[in-house]
Homo-oligomer: A and B are copies of this chain.
């Protein structure tokens, strides 16, 4: 898998190399954000491209021809991160200053747009690798529809975070479907699409990816409150940062009258005290939010694996590597 990650990064580096002296700066910004500027340990997990490459390899036995698709997915994911960081006002990502906090909002918006544009350029190399025009176009349509879904999900996220009311559990799943599951599903569907013409197999891989994407986000929400820092590399700070993730949304919907009123009061201040954080977590556990969230992550992870088995073509070696990733990212 390290091999697949390295070749994906080489594929991306070709796209963000310098062209003309007058435009070096914008490519430097791209490389910085992608963690491809020579720094170490700042590049992100590359989970999305890896899943796509493994999906392709699980049908064909080799991942290499799918590299342009993997590069597109990773560039597209990173375009959305650059813009998310501005939209959320986050000044750090992967222990480094975010692009906007280094270069200002105008340059960061534009560099996000550049990463988006380059993600499209990545896909054209599939033609050079011998994929039919029909296949490349179908992949592009999948990618374009996924980008629309991403923006729809982000719209819901911003709108609900600015609203007074906490969103419903139903709207939460609607949102993460568009914002998170769509790109993970597209990456895996793209891998299958490039590997086979069998529509049954393609549909199963898509369903696998969708369920995995939901499981991934729900599990992320679980770890954001109850994760162990040494296991995840992230501090469980979602409550202190007042993020309305699934456990909180569930608790607001299912808590009794008194607990709901108390939760609302505790979420009022901009930064809750340590005592308030402890009390919030206690209410979440009392209302069953932790169990519910863990169960949802497990349920979607199991559904993902069942869809993969239903596809019926998976090579054993690739299947083992897919399971390894799934177990690693979904620890619920």
Contact = CB atoms under 8 A, between A and B. Distances in A.
A87 B106 contact: yes
A148 B121 contact: yes
A253 to B, nearest CB: 16
A145 B132 CA distance: 21
Contact of A144 (B79, B113, B117): B117
A25 B107 contact: no
B155 A110 contact: yes
20 contacts: A22-B174, A26-B152, A83-B109, A86-B109, A87-B105, A106-B158, A107-B155, A110-B154, A110-B158, A113-B113, A114-B155, A116-B147, A117-B148, A117-B150, A121-B145, A121-B148, A124-B137, A127-B137, A136-B137, A140-B140
Contact of A171 (B22, B25, B118, B124): B22
A134 interface: yes
Interface in A30-49: none
Q: Which applies to chain A's interface (DSSP): helix, strand, loop or mixed?
A: helix
Protomer copies: 2
Interface of A: 19-20, 22-23, 25-26, 79-80, 83, 86-88, 104-107, 109-114, 116-118, 120-121, 124, 127, 132-134, 136-137, 140-141, 144-145, 147-148, 150-152, 154-156, 158-159, 162, 171, 174-175, 178
Nearest to A19: B152
A152 B26 CA distance: 7
A25 B113 contact: no
Contacts of A112: 109, 113
Nearest to A134: B133
Given A137-B127, A148-B121, A156 B106 contact: no
A83 B110 contact: yes
Nearest to A115: B151
Nearest to A133: B133
Given A23-B155, A110-B155, 19 more contacts: A22-B152, A23-B178, A83-B113, A86-B106, A87-B106, A106-B158, A111-B155, A113-B147, A113-B154, A114-B152, A116-B147, A118-B148, A120-B144, A120-B147, A121-B144, A124-B137, A132-B133, A133-B134, A137-B137
Q: Which 4 pairs from chain A and chain B are nearest by CB?
A: A133-B133, A87-B106, A26-B155, A114-B151
A151 B107 CA distance: 10
A151 B26 contact: yes
B114 A148 contact: yes
Nearest to A132: B133
B106 A124 contact: no
Nearest to A171: B22
A88 B25 CA distance: 19
Contacts of A118: 148
A133 B88 CA distance: 40
A118 to B, nearest CB: 7
Contacts of A109: 83, 86-87, 109, 112
